[in-house]
């Protein structure tokens, strides 16, 4: 372009032709610049697209790996739970036949705890991997040129991974709680069997029956305070355990109230099989309306306790909670007047709302009582009169 100026001035090139040539050169240069820019833009887009595809493929592989890990953990949890149940059955069977080697069982429980620790380590590593995935998602969203569809796909994958992470953590925590609770119940059962030495096999505990930890608490109260007369709302294996405790620690008797006649007969047969008929009495007490003011609640026929005085311990484990709302409430107003000054009331199943409400109501309506929670498998509340 600059060269054309002197050539036009010297007359070598006509001015009009010089202008035309200059414009042509300018257009060609501009076209070359546009082509180069388009090529650079297209190359950048291709590189971004390639990076996006690589990241999406990595996310897919990682999601598959996490899913495989979750499935593995789920299967391991199932095997651990089944192993725990099997071990419990083995322990209970051996205890019932009085030929258990306590050291060997403790070793098995320690192995179970070690397995749970390994699961915890694996899940923690999985959580760290999921954190890396979330960072990868963030980097993906920062890439210039990602389409809305790609961003949405990455977000959906991340949400699925977050959900999976939460499920794995919840499953691991639940399994750990189950193993800890099983260990605690086996430990309590071993304690009470070693202390009381039952003379015949006993039915399993837990479930509908009282758990070993609450029975150990009751036996401790009998051993320390010498309860004398014990009243149990409900009957079954717990009646036999309480009978053994009274036989072992200074005498007394257990009065077990049972609303179901067939179950009362079965409990009485169990007492006879253990030779405790002089210590434990199962009384059939059908449910009848108990009324105070305008309130009516079904409870055991109160005539069966008319002869009782000086009760030292009341174990409230019946009637069944499904019978009626607050069905266990009458136990304290009916039995407290028949109790010794230092008597204990132990309410089982306070993990349930109805039983918690009953215990709280007792404390509100009877200010002479003090209460404390006990961390049993199904929850418990201990209540006692304040010292005079």
- The enclosing domain of 268 has a CATH number of 3.40.50.150
> According to the model, what pLDDT value does residue 269 have?
95
Q: What is the pLDDT of residue 26?
A: 74
Residues 290 and 188 in one domain: no
Helices (H) and strands (E) in the chain, counts: 9, 9
- 117 and 257 co-located in one domain: no
Q: Are 206 and 377 in contact (CB under 8 A)?
A: yes
Residue 260 forms part of a structural domain: yes
Asked, for residue 230, whether it belongs to a domain, the answer is: yes
Rg over CA atoms, the chain = 39
Q: Is residue 14 part of a domain?
A: no
Residues 363 and 223 in one domain: yes
User: Quick one: 340 and 269 in the same domain?
Assistant: yes
Question: What's the total number of domains in the chain?
Answer: 2
pLDDT at site 292: 92
Does residue 224 sit in the same domain as residue 279? yes
Of 148, 170, 196, which residue constitutes the final position of a domain?
196
Asked whether residue 3 is assigned to any structural domain, the reply reads: no
Is residue 17 in a domain? no
Which of 145, 163, 196 is the last residue before a domain boundary? Answer: 196
Which domain, by its residues, includes 309?
Answer: 212-385
pLDDT at position 202 is 78
Cα(254)–Cα(164) distance, integer angstroms: 52
94 with 173, same domain? yes
Q: How many CA atoms lie within 13 A of 267 on its CB side?
A: 29
Residue 264 sits in the same domain as residue 302? yes
Residues 235 and 184 in one domain: no
Q: Is residue 90 part of a domain?
A: yes
- pLDDT at res. 102: 45
The string of DSSP codes covering 211-269 is PHHHHHHHHHHHHHH--EEEEEES-SHHHHHHHHHHHHTT-EEEEEEES-HHHHHHHHH
What pLDDT does 302 receive? Answer: 96
Q: Are residues 223 and 191 part of one domain?
A: no
Q: For residues 142 and 256, state if they share a domain.
A: no
Kindly state whether residues 243 and 180 are assigned to the same domain.
no
Please enumerate in sequence order all residues whose Cβ is within 8 A of that of 316, keeping only pairs 6 or more positions apart, or say none: 233, 328, 331, 332, 345, 346, 347, 348
Could you state, in chain order, the average pLDDT of each consecutive group of 10 residues for the chain (388 residues)? 57 63 71 64 64 68 65 63 55 41 50 60 59 56 54 63 66 67 75 81 68 88 86 93 91 94 94 95 97 94 95 93 92 96 91 93 94 85 81
């Amino acid at each position: 372009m600059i060269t054309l100026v002197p050539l036009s001035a010297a007359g070598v090139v006509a001015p009009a032709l010089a202008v035309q040539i200059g414009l042509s050169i300018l257009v060609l240069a501009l076209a070359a610049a546009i082509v180069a820019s388009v090529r650079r833009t297209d190359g950048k887009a291709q590189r971004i697209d390639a990076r996006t595809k690589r990241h999406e493929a990595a996310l897919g592989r990682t999601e598959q790996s996490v899913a495989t890990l979750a499935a593995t953990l789920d299967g391991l949890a199932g095997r651990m739970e089944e192993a725990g149940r099997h071990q419990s059955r083995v322990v209970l069977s051996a205890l019932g036949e009085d030929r258990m080697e306590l050291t060997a069982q403790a070793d098995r429980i320690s192995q179970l705890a070690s397995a749970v620790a390994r699961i915890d380590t694996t899940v923690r590593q999985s959580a760290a991997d999921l954190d890396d995935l979330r960072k990868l998602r963030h980097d993906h969203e920062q890439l210039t040129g990602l389409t809305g569809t790609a961003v949405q796909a990455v977000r959906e994958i991340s949400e699925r991974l977050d959900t999976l992470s939460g499920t794995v953590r919840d499953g691991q925590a639940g399994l750990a709680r189950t193993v800890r609770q099983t260990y605690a119940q086996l430990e309590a059962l071993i304690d009470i069997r070693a202390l009381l030495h039952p003379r015949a096999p006993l039915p399993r505990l837990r479930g509908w029956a009282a758990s070993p930890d609450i029975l150990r608490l009751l036996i401790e109260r009998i051993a320390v305070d010498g309860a004398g007369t014990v009243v149990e709302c409900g009957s079954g294996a717990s009646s036999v355990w309480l009978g053994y405790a009274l036989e072992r620690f200074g005498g007394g008797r257990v009065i077990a109230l049972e609303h179901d006649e067939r179950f009362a007969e079965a409990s009485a047969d169990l007492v006879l099989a253990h030779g405790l008929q002089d210590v434990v009495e199962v009384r059939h007490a059908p449910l009848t309306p108990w009324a105070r003011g305008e309130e009516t609640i079904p409870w055991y026929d109160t005539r069966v306790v008319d002869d009782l005085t000086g009760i030292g311990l009341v174990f409230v484990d019946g009637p069944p909670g499904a019978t009626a709302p607050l069905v266990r409430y009458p136990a304290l107003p009916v039995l407290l007047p028949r109790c010794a000054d230092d008597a204990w009331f132990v309410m089982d199943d306070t993990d349930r709302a109805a039983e918690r409400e009953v215990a709280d109501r007792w404390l509100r309506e009877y200010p002479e009582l003090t209460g404390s929670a006990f961390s049993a498998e199904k929850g418990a509340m201990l209540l006692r009169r304040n010292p005079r």
